[in-house]
Chains A and B, each alone.
Chain A
Amino acid sequence: DVKVTQSSRYLVKRTGEKVFLECVQDMDHENMFWYRQDPGLGLRLIYFSYDVKMKEKGDIPEGYSVSREKKERFSLILESASTNQTSMYLCASIPPAGFSEQYFGPGTRLTVT
């Protein structure tokens, strides 16, 4: 079974802190994604990566950056956390070729106070 894991299920940080959210997948997937999920807004794409050291902005990249130094690991960075970044963050990955489903991690619920 494909497994996508995220470093924390719940995280509480203070405004202005630098926050790292990590995602690891164990099936050699090339494409990885970071989403945030908010009530009434659904899932929105923050950043995605289609290969090591490659990244592309999604629909809402402001206030975030990402890092993909190894194929299995995709990190989301909040450079200076703000209260409007309180949200559920979900990582996903997809196999390299053809049409296939996305595999999601369990999510990290981040609260910025």
Chain B
Amino acid sequence: KNEVEQSPQNLTAQEGEFITINCSYSVGISALHWLQQHPGGGIVSLFMLSSGKKKHGRLIATINIQEKHSSLHITASHPRDSAVYICAVRLGGGSNYKLTFGKGTLLTVNP
């Protein structure tokens, strides 16, 4: 059974700081997702990765397949980035779309 571990569980930062959230998993995967959930809100997909690095605005996601590790970085953090960030992995390919989720990282960015 694949385990998905995120660290840290909670993170508090000052506005403008560089943020890193980590995700490790235990077996081979076909894709990794980073998701964002604001308090009381639904979940939004930020990135889907199978290799390398992706960037969208101030957000950067990287994955190292050999080390079974991914990081989500936020540059120049802002209070509106405060949310729960969730890592999820897809184990199989083809028509297997099931995801296994980490428990999430609660990020609070103070002004």
Binding site for B on A (CB under 8 A): 31, 33, 40-45, 48, 50, 58, 90, 92, 94, 99-107
- The residues of B that contact A43 with a CB separation of less than 8 Å are 86, 88, 101
Q: Which of B28-81 contact A (CB under 8 A)?
A: 30-31, 33, 35, 41-45, 48, 50
The main secondary structure of chain B at its interface with chain A is strand
Task: Provide the residues of chain A in CB contact with B97, threshold 8 Å.
Answer: 31, 33, 48, 50, 94, 102
CA distance A92 to B98 in the complex (A): 11
Q: Which residue of B lies closest to A103 (CB)?
A: B45
- Least Cβ–Cβ distance between A31 and chain B, in angstroms: 5
CB distance from A105 to the nearest CB of B (A): 6
- DSSP class of A's interface residues: helix, strand, loop or mixed? strand
User: Cα distance A45–B4 when bound, in Å?
Assistant: 14
Interface centre among B31, B33, B90, B98 (most CB of A within 10 A): B98
List residues of chain B with CB within 8 A of the CB of A102: 33, 45, 97, 99
A105 CB contacts on chain B under 8 angstroms = 42
Least Cβ–Cβ distance between A7 and chain B, in angstroms: 14
Q: Determine if A101 and B45 form an interchain contact, defined as CB atoms under 8 angstroms apart.
A: yes
